[in-house]
Each structure stands twice: as C-alpha cells, then as structure tokens.
Structure 1
C-alpha cells in the first residue's frame, strides 16, 4: 500500500523527502505530534491549504504508513488522524525543523532591524 516514491538517486534524504516533502505534509505532521486531530481541526490550523489539498496530503501520508486514519461510524462522519508508530519516529526531525525555523526567523528579524 505504501507509495514507494524514493526518487532516482537512492539518497536517503531523497527517500525522506518523498514521504514528508511538500508545503503541507511537515505542517500536518507537526500538528499531529501533540495529539490526534479531526480533519476540520486541521483545516482550521492550516487555513492556507485547501481541503482538497489536505485530503490529498493526508492520503499520501496514510499510504506511506506515517499517519493512521480512523473513521467513526456515525452521522455526520467523524474522521480522526494520528501519527502511526512509524510516524512517531519523525518527531525528533519535526522538532528539529521547528527549532531551526524559530532560529531562522529570529535571524531574519534581526537582519531586518539592522
């Protein structure tokens, strides 16, 4: 079921990017680090992404085994997403990305003030 889009070079970084690369996948994964989230909650947290784009990205993450989707049999449908065990192994990577981004933003703000 996994997509297995590792790229052409065989590079491990390319394999990682094939799973978590893109504008919204790392953001989605970051919001799932802390807890399970419903689809509409993710759309509110990531307002610049369209619902169809979020759906597409979540499906790819699910196909790659890093996100688990749970549909509750009720009306209206309730769908929740959480990190899988494999997805949990990405937490240090996501936190490092957050820390680097915080540092980069501070550097840019300092440069703009100078």
Structure 2
C-alpha cells in the first residue's frame, strides 16, 4: 500500500505543534509575555525540564522569544513572536472543536 504524503510544510508544522504541551504553552502566551514560573503554574502537570525543552524548540522555530532584563535579580520573560501570534486563530479553532467534541 502506498504511503499517503502530505505537504512537507504541513507535516513539519503539525510535528512541532502536535508535541505534548506545545499547544498549552502557546495558548498561555497568547495573553501576553510571561515568566517561566507563570507558565509552569498555568500548566501544573508539566515538569520544569519539559518546559525548558519546549521553550528551546519554540525559540529555535521562531515562535517564542526569550527576553532577559538586566535587573537584580535577573528577570527572564517569554513572549510570542509575530509568527507565534499568528497561531491565535488556529488555537481558537482547536478550542472551539474541543468544546464541541470533548
């Protein structure tokens, strides 16, 4: 049987966005920049190690930016880039679908 192939760009996007916790991180950041602890609190079942890993992936994909403020103590916040903010309609549609079917 032939394997069905999707558009490589779609496959790549879905592979990233389909990873566990990624959608919740993006959804949390849609309301504005947050500190690591704010996101960890919003998604309590996710380990700090996993959050760090997902942030690194999202940063490397240009979806999240890490901002370091040279204060004492140092303040670090995470924010969606324009690319990340453009996921808002997608996230809203997933939310509608989930509310209807779950």
What TM-score does the superposition give when structure 1 sets the normalisation length? 0.78
Distance 2:9 2:95 in 1: 21
Distance 1:51 1:75 in 2: 22
Secondary structure in 1 aligned to 2:99? helix
Distance 1:99 1:13 in 2: 21
Distance 1:93 1:9 in 2: 19
Q: Structure 2 unaligned segments of length 5 or more: list them.
A: none
Match of 1:45? 42
Distance 1:85 1:19 in 2: 17
Q: Structure 1 unaligned segments of length 5 or more: list them.
A: 1-7, 106-114
Aligned length: 98
Match of 1:35? 32
Distance 2:7 2:89 in 1: 23
Matches within 5 A, 1:68-87: 68-87=65-84
Superposed CA RMSD in Å reads 1.6
Distance 2:54 2:10 in 1: 19
Match of 1:19? 16
Structure 1 segments (4+ residues) deviating >6 Å: none
What TM-score does the superposition give when structure 2 sets the normalisation length? 0.87
Match of 2:54? 57
